[in-house]
Every structure is written in C-alpha cells, then in structure tokens.
Structure 1
C-alpha cells in the first residue's frame, strides 16, 4: 500500500519484515532429511530469496539478522528446530550465514520493477552460490572432509530443488509486490 502517510508506510514495511522473519522460522521446520548429508533439504532457500525480492537491502539485512540472532539466542528456528551457537558455528552453520548475504544481495540488485526473469536468474545464478559458498566452506573446515566429499554432500544434492525454490520465490514476489503496491 503506497500512501503519503509515513506511519502507514512504516507499518507496511515492518509488517513485511516481521512476516519474512516468521516465514523463515517456519520454513526451517519443513525439511527432508538426507541420509548421506549433514544438511536436510529445507524450504528456507525459497524464503531467503523471497526476502531479497520483496524487501529493500536494509530491510533484508535487518530481517535476516533478527532471524540469526533469535536462533543464536536459543530459540529453535534453525533447520529442523535447532538453535544456538553450536548450530551456527557447527558444520552446517555457514548456510545460515549465507542466507544473510543472499537476501541482501538480491534486494540490492533485483531492480526497481518486478521481473520474473531477472529475479529467477539472480536467484539461480548468484543467490544459490551465495548460500552454498559459506556453507560449503564451513562444512569442509569444521568436519575436515575432503573437498570433493564436502561438495558431494553439501552442495550437489541441493541444486535441483534450490533452482525450483528460486523459481517459486521469483513467482511469488510478483503478487506480493502487487499486494503491497510496492513496484
């Protein structure tokens, strides 16, 4: 909703940010465990991308920072209902850190007008690697796995569904922009 009243605009912005934090927390519980990987398939990448598509860079940063701090404080909002410093600094915590980078980057580079193609390309070509890179590196460093095994268990199995989730987030961003009359 676009209006000349700054308090209504601020309320709409805060509402979107709160919804994105809540959706990220809930999406962490929607998982498919993989027996050969320390990380399950989670719905979170869809929400991380959507956060970058519907918020500006500052809002995306604050939203993902709140999510990280809530989980770090011990509220079970990380993948599979986990929490705390052990999760954030453990083998799979790099992916969570990658969420922050990805949401901010997508928000900063998506453009002024909604475009499914641009959003989908950004998410698939840049967003996915921005999540994977810190996740892959932390997985390798914390576990001591060989590079190829870390890649085979921490990156490769997730690519197909993450592409689908990027496309889903790019699609959902259109109606959300129309609802909030943001673009």
Structure 2
C-alpha cells in the first residue's frame, strides 16, 4: 500500500489533511495575538476563535489531531503557545490547564456541532460546552500551581473572560458556517 493509499484509506484526503494543516498553522499564529492582563497569568487571545473554528470545520477526530499537534509543537520547543511561549513545562504552569483542556473541549464541540451547518447549534456547542471545559482546565491548573482558592482562580481565569469568549465563540460560529458553505466535503 502506497502512502497516498494509506492516507485515503484512513479517511484523510489531501483536502482534509490540508484543512487540518491550515488549522494547526492558524492556531500557532493566533496564539501571538494576545493581550496580557495585570491581575492574572491568563491572557485575552485570538487562539480561542481559531480553536472553535477548527471544531466547526473539522470532524471530532481531526479536531483532536489538530489540538494534539499544536500541543506537541509547543511542548517540543516551538513558540506556539499563547504570547509566543514555549516548552513542555507550560503544560504544568498556571495556564497549562487551558492548553490541556483545549484537547478535550474542542473535539467535543466538534462532535456536538451536528451534521447540519447551523450557526445557532455551533454557537451553543461552543458556549455551553467548549467554554466551560476550557475554564475548568484553567481553574484547576491555577488552583494547583498558584495555590489559590476556587474563587480566586475564577477571578483570574474565568470572570474577566466570559463576555469576550462568548463573542469569540459567536464569531467562530459565523465564520464556520460561511466556510462550510464554501467548502463542504
């Protein structure tokens, strides 16, 4: 079996692998679009728009692969984490829970988006599932690493980000519907 046949046999066409590669690249680039806040180690970032968009345009398994590749790139030493940070140690830092939660949240969002190209369904999946799972990861890592209470972790990792994350989820849903209309598999 040739490489091309193996790729096609695994249900990964050239088009799908290209879409996945573009999503990985967008994750890497969007992590640089970050705004630090003075009261927390977490940042406002464009990465969450791209993570949601990835979930909306790819299947759940493909979304998981994109998340894992992005995490592996950052862990291996490429500066692709939020703010251009790098290293395996970031997974065990105060914001490491966010990174790990991405690999859990967004494949689930992709699963819950359904088969129909629906702005409302995409938005609801991202807001009711993706955001809470991501926040849970961030809260847990901040509590463990910074030795803060649950409330303090929520003040640093959740409350300031809710309005922006909802807006980013809605933006990603809008873009996802448009992209899927243009390029349906």
Which residue of 1 is the match for residue 94 of structure 2?
A: 91
Q: Deviations over 1:39-79 (max 9, x none)?
A: 11011111111111110011001110000000000100000
Runs of 4+ in 1 over 4 A off after TM superposition: none
Which residue of 2 is the match for residue 73 of structure 1?
A: 76
RMSD: 1.7
Structure 1 residue 177 displacement after superposition: 0.7
* Separation of aligned partners in 1, 2:42 and 2:112: 28
Which residue of 2 is the match for residue 145 of structure 1?
A: 148
Q: TM-score, normalised by structure 2?
A: 0.92
Partner SS state of residue 127, structure 1: helix
How many aligned residue pairs are there?
178
* Separation of aligned partners in 2, 1:59 and 1:147: 33
Q: Deviations over 1:96-122 (max 9, x none)?
A: 111111210011111111100010011
* Separation of aligned partners in 2, 1:107 and 1:54: 8
Which residue of 2 is the match for residue 47 of structure 1?
A: 50
* Separation of aligned partners in 1, 2:180 and 2:124: 18
Which residue of 2 is the match for residue 33 of structure 1?
A: 36
Structure 1 residue 37 displacement after superposition: 0.8
Runs of at least 5 residues in structure 2 that lack an aligned partner in the other structure: 1-7
Partner SS state of residue 84, structure 2: coil
Runs of at least 5 residues in structure 1 that lack an aligned partner in the other structure: none
Query: Higher RCO, 1 or 2 (CA under 8 Å, sep at least 6)?
Result: 1
